């Protein structure tokens, strides 16, 4: 029904009233010449109302002399009459044509490419490779070969583990994942020892396999075997064996970490003065909507916000409105007191140490020494960390003992 009404509206329709003594002859004439009547409504014995298309109405005018009936026009509507009414409004038709052309351009080409920055991946190199493969703003939608681009990118950049190009209308969303290096793993069939990687005092030994050679409380040096691959015999008739020793070795370790900082720090005091500049970005071209240079005169913080023009979820215009807000301030120097300086340097030293160990800091103390224009803090810390590491063993099984009763040579 909706499609039928739409087609009638595009062809144009007229509502007429037919009067006369030979209504049946009029209906037979319309049937003979394929003139379709819609919504027929009988008024009395000699009159009825009906709707017909504009083309049928024009054909009917040349056939009316044979019926003895008269046709009165009641109303008309549809696209042909609207076009005739606005035939001299060229700006309107020009705007409609421009709107249609704009819709075709926006939906037939890729204008926006979204690619989030992934840790450890060179974004510039990825963009350059994509552009060499034909993926760039302004490319035709029909020219996009997502699978081919994915395979080519994985071949060109081995550091990529996964890349996907998802198209949404005139926008491409690129999903990236960096390749994670495989951890070093030793085959369980290889005989290994667990050795200490750092000197310390053993706190806890969690052996999964192998024989523990040391106990908690003992001191170890770098390279000492804590969990041995050589397992002694457990019975009188048993034999020693070699196995893949593994487990965790927790020990107390001690470190020194140094941090430095100037005693005079610059602070900002905002003056209350703010300026706002706007610019339009078309693809990669920027058009400033202000006069003068974008370089600010004086000390200020620059806050940049961008607004995209999105018509629908799958239709985004390649235009962005950039707003730059500059907040001016005056810088002045403030000398930190000793306690605040100590706390700051302690936090810095602890963060550095925490990033370099496989464990936690249990006890720490710091010594602050003044320097010229600053201060230095040395942090002495006791840590609890895992120091065990699997290494291929160099041990061998001992020679078998002589059998009982066998004469010695």
pLDDT of 94-143, one tens digit each?
888 898 888 888 888 888 888 887 777 888 899 899 999 999 888 898 88
Say whether pTM exceeds 0.75: no
Exposure on the CB side of residue 146, measured as CA atoms within 13 A: 13
Q: CA–CA separation, 254 vs 257, rounded Å?
A: 10
Residues 6+ apart with CB under 8 A from 318: 111, 112, 137, 282, 283
Share of the chain above pLDDT 70, in %: 95
Token pair for 104: 């075709």
pLDDT at 94: 85
Tens-digit pLDDT profile for residues 284-338: 788 888 887 766 677 888 899 988 878 777 778 888 889 999 899 888 888 888 8
Strands (E) across 192-263 are located at 192-196, 200-209, 211-212, 219-220, 225-228, 230-231, 241-242, 246-262
- Which of 18-22, 354-358, 400-404 has the highest average model confidence (pLDDT)? 354-358
Mean pLDDT of 221-246: 86
Q: What is the mean pLDDT of residues 11-39?
A: 88
Report in angstroms the alpha-carbon separations of 237 from 50, 156, 232, 233, 262. 114, 61, 11, 8, 71
- Bridge partners, 211 (sequence order): 228
Mean pLDDT of 177-182: 81
Cβ of 74: how many Cβ atoms within 10 Å? 12
| Residue 257 token pair | 């970490």
Q: What pLDDT does residue 159 have?
A: 87
CB 51 within 8 A of CB 74: no
Architecture of domain 2-84: 2-Layer Sandwich (3.30)
The pLDDT of residue 175 is above 60? yes
Domain definitions of the chain by residue range: 2-84, 108-178, 189-263+336-398, 265-333
Confidence at residue 360, expressed as pLDDT on a 0 to 100 scale: 93
Other CB atoms within a 10 A radius of the CB of residue 16 amount to: 19
Say what the pLDDT of residue 91 is.
Answer: 84
Per-residue pLDDT tens digits for 30-49:
888 888 898 889 888 889 99
pLDDT score for 408: 47
- The predicted model gives 222-249 an average pLDDT of 86
Per-residue pLDDT, averaged over 24-28, amounts to 86
Question: 318 vs 236, which has greater pLDDT?
Answer: 318
CATH class held by domain 108-178? alpha beta
- Higher-pLDDT residue of 237, 149: 149
DSSP 104-163: HHHHHEE-EEE-PPPTT--HHHHHHHHHHTT-STTEEGGG--HHHHHHHHHHH-TTEEEE
From 54-58, 236-240, 275-279, the region with the lowest mean pLDDT? 236-240
Q: Is residue 6 pLDDT above 50, yes or no?
A: yes
Mean pLDDT of 154-183: 87
**pLDDT at residue 80 is higher than 70:** yes
d(CA 253, CA 362): 10
Is 409 a residue whose pLDDT tops 50?
A: no
- The pLDDT of 353-366, averaged and rounded, is 91
Task: Map tokens 């995209």 to a residue.
Answer: 308
pLDDT computed for residue 184 by the predictor: 66
Q: What percent of the chain has pLDDT over 90?
A: 25
Computed over every residue of the chain, the mean pLDDT equals 85
């Amino acid at each position: 029904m909706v499609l039928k009404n739409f087609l009638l509206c595009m062809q144009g329709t007229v509502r007429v009233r037919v009067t006369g003594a030979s209504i049946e002859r009029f209906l037979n004439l319309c049937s003979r010449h394929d003139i379709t009547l819609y919504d027929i409504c009988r008024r009395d014995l000699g009159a009825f109302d009906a709707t017909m298309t504009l083309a049928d109405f024009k054909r009917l005018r040349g056939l009316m002399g044979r019926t003895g009936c008269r046709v009165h026009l009641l109303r008309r509507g549809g696209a042909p009459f609207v076009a005739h009414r606005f035939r001299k409004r060229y700006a309107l038709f020009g705007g409609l044509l421009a709107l249609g052309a704009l819709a075709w351009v926006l939906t037939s080409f890729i204008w926006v490419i979204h690619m989030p920055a992934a840790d450890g991946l060179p974004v510039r190199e990825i963009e350059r490779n994509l552009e060499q493969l034909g993926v760039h703003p302004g490319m035709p939608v029909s020219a996009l070969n997502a699978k081919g681009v994915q395979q080519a990118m994985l071949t060109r950049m081995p550091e990529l583990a996964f890349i996907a190009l998802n198209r949404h209308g005139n926008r491409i969303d690129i999903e990236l994942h960096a390749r994670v290096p495989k951890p070093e793993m030793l085959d369980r069939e290889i005989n290994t020892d667990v050795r200490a990687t750092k000197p310390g005092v053993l706190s806890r030994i969690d052996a999964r396999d192998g024989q523990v050679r040391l106990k908690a409380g003992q001191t170890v040096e770098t390279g000492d075997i804590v969990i041995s691959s050589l397992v002694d015999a457990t019975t009188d008739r048993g034999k020693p064996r070699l196995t893949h020793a593994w487990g965790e070795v927790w020990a107390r370790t001690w470190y020194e970490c140094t941090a430095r900082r100037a005693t005079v720090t610059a602070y900002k005091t905002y003056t209350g003065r703010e300026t706002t500049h706007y610019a339009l970005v078309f693809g990669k071209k920027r058009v400033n909507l202000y006069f003068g240079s974008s370089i600010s005169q004086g000390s200020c913080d620059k806050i940049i916000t961008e607004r995209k023009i999105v018509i629908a979820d799958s239709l985004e215009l390649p235009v962005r409105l950039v707003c730059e807000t500059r907040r001016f301030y005056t810088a002045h120097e403030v000398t930190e007191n000793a306690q605040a300086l100590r706390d700051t340097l302690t936090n810095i030293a602890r963060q550095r140490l925490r990033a370099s160990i496989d464990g936690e800091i249990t006890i720490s103390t710091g010594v602050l020494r003044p320097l010229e224009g600053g201060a230095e803090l040395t942090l002495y810390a006791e840590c609890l960390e895992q120091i065990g590491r699997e290494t291929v063993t160099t041990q061998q099984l001992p020679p078998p003992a002589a059998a009982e009763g066998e004469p010695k040579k």
